[in-house]
């Protein structure tokens, strides 16, 4: 899923400083490439009736484990086209897909480390979900949608960055 692009942050800064119209165009093109993956991933998240009954929202619940609510989980899947803060290795992302809800993230990654746990086997046994991806990039909704996209989103983001770079060079030449 991650792709290394050198000079992306500098390009965004230069676009903002010299050609603000191009600075606004690049995130729109990146968003156009990521929207189909988000839409498909939302479709892979189960509705409230397709999760274990003990995991559904209910009145008077006082536990700490997040309960699953389909509307919240589906609303929480999205993307960002703004650069992130640098991680401890100094890398930043120009565009990213995410799932902000705790229950949605649990559904996404359940079974990655402990596929034989009772919770995972009960959920998959009753309502089976297909697990796609490899290693740490394995999941049932967002990673699955990205995997089935076969690199179109990644290629769209790279194409938008390359196009903005070429347009910037033309505008400043």
pLDDT tens digit sequence for 21-68 = 888 888 999 999 999 999 999 999 999 988 888 888 888 888 888 999
d(CA 127, CA 119): 12
Inside any domain, residue 47:
yes
d(CA 70, CA 140): 15
High-pLDDT (> 70) share of the chain, %: 97
Q: Taking the model in full, what pTM does it have?
A: 0.83
Residue 4 pLDDT: 67
Inside any domain, residue 28:
yes
Count of domains observed in the chain: 1
Inside any domain, residue 2:
no
**CB count in 10 Å sphere of residue 90:** 6
Inside any domain, residue 1:
no
**CB count in 10 Å sphere of residue 42:** 20
| 67 neighbors 57 (Cβ within 8 angstroms) | yes
- The band of 78, judged by pLDDT with boundaries at 50, 70 and 90, is very high
Domain boundaries, position 50: 8-172
- The band of 2, judged by pLDDT with boundaries at 50, 70 and 90, is low
Inside any domain, residue 158:
yes
Mean pLDDT computed over every residue of the chain:
87
Inside any domain, residue 38:
yes
Closest CA to 100 of 72, 58, 68, 136: 72
Residue 57 pLDDT: 82
Q: Is the pLDDT of residue 1 over 60?
A: no
Residue 3 pLDDT: 65
The count of C-alpha atoms lying within 13 angstroms of the C-alpha of 85, restricted to the half-sphere facing its C-beta, is 2
Inside any domain, residue 3:
no
Inside any domain, residue 82:
yes
């Amino acid at each position: 899923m991650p792709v290394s692009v050198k000079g992306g942050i500098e390009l965004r800064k230069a676009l903002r400083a010299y050609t603000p119209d191009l600075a606004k165009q690049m995130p729109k093109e990146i968003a156009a490439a990521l929207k189909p993956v988000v839409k498909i991933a939302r479709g892979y998240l189960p509705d409230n009736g397709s999760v274990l009954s003990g995991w559904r929202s209910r009145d008077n619940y006082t536990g700490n484990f997040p309960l699953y609510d389909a509307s919240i989980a589906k609303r929480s899947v999205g993307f960002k086209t703004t650069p992130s803060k640098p991680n401890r290795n100094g890398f930043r992302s120009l565009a990213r897909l995410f799932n902000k809800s705790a229950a949605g993230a649990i559904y996404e990654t359940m079974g990655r480390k402990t596929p034989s746990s009772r919770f995972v086997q009960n959920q998959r046994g009753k309502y089976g979900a297909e697990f796609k991806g490899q290693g740490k990039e394995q999941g049932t909704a967002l990673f699955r949608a990205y995997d089935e996209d076969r690199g179109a989103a990644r290629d769209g983001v790279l194409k938008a960055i390359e196009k903005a770079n070429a347009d910037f060079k033309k505008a400043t030449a």
